[in-house]
Chains A and B, each alone.
Chain A
Amino acid sequence: MSVPAVWTASDTQLERLARRRRKARRRTLVSGVSTAVVIAVLVTVVLTSPGWDRVQETYFDWGQAQASLPAILRGFGVTVQVFLVAEALILVVALVVAIVRVLPFPGLAPLKLLAVVYTDVSRGTPTLLVVYLVGFGLPALELQGIPGDPFWLAVIALTFSYGGYVSEVFRAGITSVHPSQWAGGRSLGLSYGQTLRLIVVPQGIRRVLPPLVNDFASLQKDTALIAVLGVAEAFQRAQVEQLREFNYTPLVVAAIGYIVLTVPFARLTDHLALRLARRDQGLT
């Protein structure tokens, strides 16, 4: 049985195709028109509001935006640095905490308790409070080896706050790996640790990549909280610029900057989720 390379579609098929095309055209039209209407209404409401002129002046001043941009961009340089360092540390801390909580060895009980307490505390405390407590509390202890640099205090605070969240994501991934994978590894003679490291953890992490990336998009934004420590990151710079002329435009500039930084994470999350979904259906 061979399929002919070229065939002429039957009349039924031609009619089906025509109908599908008509349907698709109608859908595009409906979605296009409805989107345009919604946007037009929103824009009209905002632009015709009684206070629009003043809002435009204080929030959307082109001159202010241009003037504040260089300082805010420098701030974003620091934001990205804090983010990258904190992210690396968070991954390590979270994976260690997750694995400690997963391991079945009774000798680890004290460590497990510590891990549980840490997860509860870090997830239960607002990040802003953690930033204050770490940023001003740690140096106040005057212990040796505690960094005095706000940059590192900020990194410690963010790592503490996010490590708990991310460790729970890792733990969910690790425990979701089917027991048959353990049996597969152990039956080959791999030890518990080898099976965990080479077989279970890699699969667990792969599975939770979308929520993991999502948490990092969130961390990206929360770096703004460290402005209270005086770290010259984007939000802090924007505040300084804002106070110079008592105009809020620099804050809008910073907001746009954060969005620009976060959008790639959002697309990456979508992409990873789609890829995983495809793989689960065996479509790769």
Chain B
Amino acid sequence: MTLLAAEGVRKHFGEHQVLTGVDLSIEAGQVVCLIGASGSGKSTLLRCLNLLETLDDGTLWFDGRDISDPRVDADEVRRDIGMVFQAYNLFPHLSVLDNITLAPRRLRGLSRTAAHEYAYEQLTRFGLADKARAHPDSLSGGQQQRVALVQAMAMSPRVLLLDEVTSALDPELVGEVLDAVRMLADEGLTVVMATHEMTFARDVADRVVYLHEGSVLEEGPAASVLGNPSHERTRSFLSRFLRG
């Protein structure tokens, strides 16, 4: 079943055409990795999928419903589409616990007790139980990103969008965040992840999508796109990573 799809999605900022007609469809339960050079439109595509940007053209489908229709209540749609950014989407004035429980309490009508119970359970699962009362600034980058994952998951989204969640981290912290993503993926969560972590994409992704200058140049099973790309551009892009 297709959970989330983009059809001919276009988006420009000023003179710059960032997305030049993206077609993409994501099956429920799949992990899809978006790869491509900086500026290829990965982040913009994710922001469009979460309705944080308005489209210039094209259509977005979520669970069979056109969510790019201006009559759609974007706030309501976003409750079901979780997102974690490269960095800094935790709220520094709130404790870890409040960061996690804020949205479900306000939007899902969860009681304080139920929200706290859930938060502690999830924090424990992600090895952060002792950080509940801490403020985000006092956590390491890796811990912050794991809290951000718990925060996004607290709304029980049907799909999780991850925008280069490890790009701002020190190399030794990347692994703990990727492990957390893998844990969620293993539970059957639908994940769309913009990333430069090719090893992770190869091991965890069901499909890999290569974006080039704002559109999908190549996509398919991880093994074939990463292992045996059919486009010269994909090959040269990947070779830069394999060399590094």
Are A187 and B102 in contact, CB atoms less than 8 angstroms apart?
A: no
Q: Contact check: which of A184, A191, A284 meets B91 at CB < 8 Å?
A: A184
Q: Contact flags (1/0) for A190-210 with B, using CB distance below 8 Å?
A: 110010001100110010000
Are A194 and B106 in contact, CB atoms less than 8 angstroms apart?
A: yes
Chain A hits for B103, CB < 8 A: 188-190
**Contact A184-B138, Cβ < 8 Å, known A189-B75, A189-B78, A190-B106:** no
CB of A282 closer than 8 Å to a CB of B: yes
In B38-68, the 8 Å CB interface with A consists of 47, 50, 52
Q: B139 CB to closest chain A CB, in angstroms?
A: 10
Q: Contact flags (1/0) for B75-115 with A, using CB distance below 8 Å?
A: 11011111101011111110000000011001100000000
**Contact A187-B91, Cβ < 8 Å, known A194-B106, A284-B137, A284-B138:** no
CB of B151 closer than 8 Å to a CB of A: yes
CB of B35 closer than 8 Å to a CB of A: no
Q: Contact check: which of A187, A191, A194, A284 meets B83 at CB < 8 Å?
A: A187
Chain A hits for B81, CB < 8 A: 187
**Contact A190-B107, Cβ < 8 Å, known A181-B91, A183-B52, A184-B89:** yes
Are B76 and A189 in contact, CB atoms less than 8 angstroms apart?
A: yes
In B104-148, the 8 Å CB interface with A consists of 106-107, 135, 137-138
Chain B hits for A183, CB < 8 A: 47, 52, 85, 89
CB of A178 closer than 8 Å to a CB of B: yes
Are A188 and B78 in contact, CB atoms less than 8 angstroms apart?
A: yes
Closest to A194 in B: B106
CA distance A198 to B94 in the complex (A): 10
Q: Contact check: which of B79, B89, B92 meets A203 at CB < 8 Å?
A: B92
Are A199 and B78 in contact, CB atoms less than 8 angstroms apart?
A: no
Q: How many pairs of A and B residues are in contact by the CB < 8 Å rule?
A: 69
Q: B124 CB to closest chain A CB, in angstroms?
A: 22
Q: A196 CB to closest chain B CB, in angstroms?
A: 13
Name the residue in B52, B76, B103 with the highest tally of chain A Cβ atoms < 10 Å from its Cβ: B103
In terms of DSSP, what is the predominant structure of the interface of chain A? helix
CB of B152 closer than 8 Å to a CB of A: yes
Q: B90 CB to closest chain A CB, in angstroms?
A: 7
Are A188 and B155 in contact, CB atoms less than 8 angstroms apart?
A: yes
Are B107 and A180 in contact, CB atoms less than 8 angstroms apart?
A: no
Chain B hits for A185, CB < 8 A: 91
Q: Contact check: which of B87, B91, B93, B155 meets A189 at CB < 8 Å?
A: B155
Chain B hits for A198, CB < 8 A: 102, 106
Chain B hits for A188, CB < 8 A: 78-79, 82, 102-103, 107, 151-152, 155
Name the residue in A183, A187, A202 with the highest tally of chain B Cβ atoms < 10 Å from its Cβ: A187
In A158-202, the 8 Å CB interface with B consists of 178, 180-181, 183-191, 194, 198-199, 202
CB of A54 closer than 8 Å to a CB of B: no
CA distance A190 to B77 in the complex (A): 11
Q: Contact flags (1/0) for B207-232 with A, using CB distance below 8 Å?
A: 00000000000000000000000000
Give chain A's interface residues, CB within 8 Å of chain B.
178, 180-181, 183-191, 194, 198-199, 202-203, 206, 279, 282, 284
Q: Which 3 A-B pairs have the closest CB atoms?
A: A189-B79, A184-B89, A188-B103
19 intermolecular pairs with C-beta atoms under 8 Å apart: A180-B89, A181-B91, A183-B52, A183-B85, A183-B89, A185-B91, A187-B52, A187-B85, A188-B102, A188-B103, A189-B75, A190-B102, A198-B102, A199-B93, A203-B91, A203-B92, A203-B93, A284-B135, A284-B137
Give chain B's interface residues, CB within 8 Å of chain A.
47, 50, 52, 75-76, 78-83, 85, 87-93, 102-103, 106-107, 135, 137-138, 151-152, 155
